Amino acid sequence: MIYYLPTIYSNQDGYEQLGALAKAAQGLSANRLELSFSRVAFFDANMAAPLGVVLSRIANDLNAVEIVDVPVMVERILRKNGFLTHYGYQRLEDTNRTTMPFRRLQLSDEGLFADYVNRQLRGKGIPRMSAGLGRVFKKKVFEVFQNAVIHSASELGVFVCGQFFPQKQRLDLTIADAGIGIRDKVRQFFRTDKISSVAAIRWALQDQNTTKPGPQPGGLGLKFLHEFVCLNKGRIQIASRFGFYELNKGKDSFAKMDADMPGTSVTIEINTGDAAQYCLASEVTPESVF
């Protein structure tokens, strides 16, 4: 089949479009997908991660995936970040070092993810980013990856991609998994199929709520991320199945999507120009902590 991808921004519409691609390819097996970019006027680089999720699922059904007719400007960024090299294109050197390369990792590749974070965050707004901010941001990124490891059951792995915008002092990073999504995880936990994607995301963002099995408490990772991004005046987007959530300018918004975006994608956008001293936020002593 031939599918014409439209312009993809990092927003609800972008995820709806990727969900529509997933739906169109449903049932395609041992066949061929020609994904035409001829109608793509713009592609937010971090969205290569959720596109990677959708295409990996299509390829997993034994389909050959070919990406064609990529406009020059879009091709340049998607070759620089390495996404298109997965589809037979030559890599283009990222001389300005503004991309955070597209990577596909297995859930067990925690060490490789750590290498990725340590290598890629160096020089992306850091040292322009204050040491405290860089340190806190790194922790949030690991928390999001760990959420995927613990909750997603993504056999096809985790897809990571980002972009640094030096002029705007913004860094966007998306971590997307091809797993069961927040809705099904919450449904399993409460043993009901009467929970919508939006309700499930809303629940997962509340204090102390976790679907983690066994004796470990949890439910802090997303809360910490939320607090941090509010302070930093950054942005969070979560797209999971039919649910979309965004934190922008300190405001939460939830929306039901028309299309089913597989797995869970989390985008963190941080304001790299933030000079706040995150390290000095509290005065806890080792003696008082327990």
Partner 1 sequence: MSEPITVKVFDIVGGPLCVSAEDGQRLHDKIVPLLRDGKKVELSFEQVDTLISAFLNAAIGQLYGEFPEDRIRELLSVKDMEQDDLAILQRVVENAKTYFKEPKKFDQAWKEEVGDEE
Segment interacting with partner 1, rule: CB under 8 A, options 83-91, 95-103, 129-137, 159-167: 129-137
Among 150, 153, 231, 255, the residue binding partner 1 under the rule CB under 8 A is 150
Rounded to a whole number of angstroms, the minimum distance from the CB of residue 67 to partner 1 is 29
Distance separating alpha carbons of residues 277 and 279, to the nearest angstrom: 6
Beta strands in the chain (DSSP E): 2-4, 32-36, 64-68, 99-105, 158-165, 170-177, 235-248, 251-271
22 close to 260: Cβ distance less than 8 angstroms: yes
Q: Per CB under 8 A, does 112 bind partner 1?
A: no
Q: Considering only residues 169-188, where is the footprint of partner 1 by CB under 8 A?
A: 183
* Partner residues linked to 175 by β-bridges: 160, 266
Closest residue by Cα to residue 15 from 59, 56, 47, 57 = 47
Q: By CB under 8 A, is residue 273 in contact with partner 1? A: no
Count of residues in the chain? 290
Query: Could you say which residues in the range 202-221 bind partner 1, by CB under 8 A?
Result: 202-203, 207-209, 212, 215-221
Instruction: Assess 282 for contact with partner 1 (CB under 8 A).
Output: yes
Does residue 289 touch partner 1 according to CB under 8 A? Answer: yes
Q: Does 86 bind partner 1 (CB under 8 A)?
A: no
**For the chain, give me the number of helices (H) and strands (E)?**
8, 8
Q: Is 127 in the site for partner 1 (CB under 8 A)?
A: no
Binding residue for partner 1 (CB under 8 A) from 198, 201, 205, 238?
198
The Cα–Cα gap between 129 and 280 comes to 16
The helix/strand/coil state of 253 is strand
Kindly list the residues in this chain that would bind partner 1 in the complex (CB under 8 A).
110, 114, 132, 135-136, 138-139, 142-143, 145-147, 149-150, 183, 190, 192-199, 202-203, 207-209, 212, 215-221, 224, 241-242, 260, 278-290
